[in-house]
Amino acid sequence: MSQLHLSDEILMAFADGELDEPVAAAVAKAMVDSPGIAKRVVDFQQSRRLTRSAFANGSASPVPPELYAAVSAQIRAFEATNRQAAEPRFREARSPRFGRGSPYLNVALAASVAAIAVATGYFAGRQSAWDNDSLIAQLDHPLIRSELSRVASGRDVELPDGRMRVISTYRLQDGSLCREFRLQASSGAANAIACHQGRWNVALAVTSPANDAGYIPSDGTDLTATYLQNAGAGEPLVEDAEAKALAEAAR
């Protein structure tokens, strides 16, 4: 009979009931033959019990009423939105006129329009304080566009004038691929979302002066999050899914 190597992983999987039958039978036999192996299996069962009881009896304080209230309010809001939006959104989804071209038309909810408007106001209101135009122009730099097609989320890239970090990648409801990123340049900092339609176009940007370096006010990330959510961004694409989507977009 061939030798079965009983690694910790195999013995643990046996203890957890995760082994296929032929291997499980071999482990069961080995346990009978060797008290050492039986002990290792028992230890794995024991560690599961310990963990379970530690979490059942300890650390968790009761859910605070505020959290219940906040989540219940979210649920009510989404139920209401869904009832209202179900009809028109369904029609839009089937209409090719809305499916291509401008991604904004597909952003059905009023809240997303508000998000873009607020961002614009943000530019306008603080324009005099720093060279905002050049920062916005920089977001559209060919180098940034090529990095957006290439870099995995979470990575920093050094650029001639600053540093960019891609935060996450999303597929919107209309199928377009968008990436959230941050640019830290001498002229200021920006949180932006770029979407790919033939090339990367900046869809939304929230900027702040250079002396805020390293710090993006929370309303900036709230705006980008709101935008993504209202544009029907699902969960972020990660690893293989992200790499695949980027490769497709680059074609």
Among 37, 38, 44, 116, binds other proteins (CB under 8 A): 44
Task: Compute the least distance from the CB of residue 44 to other proteins, in Å.
Answer: 6
Q: Which of 35, 58, 125, 160 binds other proteins (CB under 8 A)?
A: 58
Give 99 or 236: the residue with its C-beta nearer to other proteins. Answer: 236
- Binding of other proteins by 9 (CB under 8 A): yes
CA 224 distance to own-chain centroid: 12
Identity of residue 81: T
Binding residue count for other proteins, defined by CB under 8 A: 57
Of 32 and 54, which CB lies nearer to other proteins in the complex structure? 54
Q: Are 190 and 136 in contact (CB under 8 A)?
A: yes
Dihedral sign for Cα atoms in the order 26, 32, 37, 42: positive
Gap between the Cα atoms of 31 and 42, Å rounded = 10
CA distance 91 to 172: 17
Q: How far is the CB of 176 from other proteins (least distance, A)?
A: 17
Beta carbon of residue 97, minimum distance to other proteins (angstroms, whole number): 23
Q: Quote the CA–CA distance of 11 and 44 in Å, as a whole number.
A: 8
* Residue in 126, 150, 165, 243 binding other proteins, rule: CB under 8 A: 165
Instruction: Give least dist CB 198 to other proteins, A.
Output: 27
Torsion sign (Cα): 234, 219, 101, 84: positive
Shortest spacing between CB 99 and other proteins, in angstroms: 17
| Distance, CA of 99 to CA of 176 (rounded, Å) | 9
Q: What angle do CA 79, 237, 67 make, to 5 degrees?
A: 40
Binding residues for other proteins, rule: CB under 8 A, are 7-9, 12-13, 16, 18, 43-44, 46-48, 50-64, 66-68, 70-72, 74-75, 78-79, 82, 153-156, 163, 165, 167-168, 184, 214, 216, 221, 229, 232, 234-236, 238-239
